[in-house]
Amino acid sequence: MQTTDRWRFDPLGEAALLATCAETDMEAANRAALALAEAITRAALPGVGAVVPAIDSVLLSFDPFHISRAEIEGVLRTLTAIPPPAESAERVVVIEARFGGEDGPDLAEVAGTLGVAQGALISALCARPYRVLMIGFAPGYPYIGPLPALLNVPRRATPRAAVPAGSVAIAAGMAGIYPARLPGGWHLIGRTTAKLFDPTRAEPALLRAGDRVEFKAI
């Protein structure tokens, strides 16, 4: 394990490593993780394979017969020593959704749990753009947040075997959008017709980590 002040680099086998940001503030850690992932990708080091940014970490796979762990850690120490650039060119993607009713079967229950009116919950979600912290779980699935404490509910006790495509859901202080019919443990509060993932598009995923998402009730 190698550390800098804010980062630790742990091996994940002989051909990958996990860089984790020690920053306690989730949003700051996420900004640092996304900036590092972008810097590694831009450096285009020969022998580096997957670069997977997540909430507060970056997973990196590499071919150890082309580039050594020591070399990669050296590059990472250099990259993490540079303060992340101010994010100026964030894309804002508007996601139009219908909330409640058949489209959001869990809205009433979640509002009850949170002790707010359904309308107030939706207003809070649509009040401002939130950040795509990472893409994971399924192709194109965005983890959006962090949401205000008002919207922070734990995951459902029992996950659903199948959630309809386009479902807008919240859990664990984040919002998500199901790109396809998938099993899911988040609370379904709305539904969008936006196509989150389409492998035949030039840009298969509608959203990328670092984008901002503005929900709009229709």
Partner 1 sequence: MSALRVIAPGGLALVQDLGRPGYEALGVPRAGAMDAFALQAANRLVGNPLGAAALELLGGGAEFVAEAITLFAACGADLEARLNGEQIAPWRATRARPGARLSFGGRTGGWGARAYLALAGGVDAPVVLGSRSAYLSGGLGRPLGMDDLVVAGPAWVDPDRIAGQAWPAAHRPAYASDAPLRVLPGPHAYLLPGAFAGLLGARFTVSPTSNRQGLRLEGVAFPHRLSLPSLGVLPGAIQLPPDGQPILLGADAQTTGGYPLIGMLIQADAPRAGQLLAGDGLRFAGVGEAEALAAWRELRGWVVAGVEHDEWSDAAGAG
Residues forming the site for partner 1 (CB under 8 A): 1, 10-18, 20, 26, 37, 49-59, 61, 64-65, 69, 134-141, 143, 180, 182, 197, 199-200, 204-205, 208-209
Could you tell me the smallest distance in angstroms from the CB atom of residue 55 to partner 1?
A: 4
Q: CB–CB of 179/59 below 8 Å?
A: no
Q: Look up residue 41 and give its amino acid.
A: T
The nearer residue to partner 1, 63 or 87, going by C-beta atoms, is: 63
User: Could you give the count of Cα atoms lying within 13 Å of 77 in the half-sphere of its Cβ?
Assistant: 12
The nearer residue to partner 1, 52 or 116, going by C-beta atoms, is: 52
Q: CB–CB of 72/61 below 8 Å?
A: no
The nearer residue to partner 1, 93 or 137, going by C-beta atoms, is: 137
The nearer residue to partner 1, 138 or 194, going by C-beta atoms, is: 138
Could you tell me the smallest distance in angstroms from the CB atom of residue 108 to partner 1?
A: 28
Q: How far is CA 179 from CA 55, 66, 166, 189, in A?
A: 19, 36, 6, 15
Pairing mode, strands 7-11 and 2-3: antiparallel
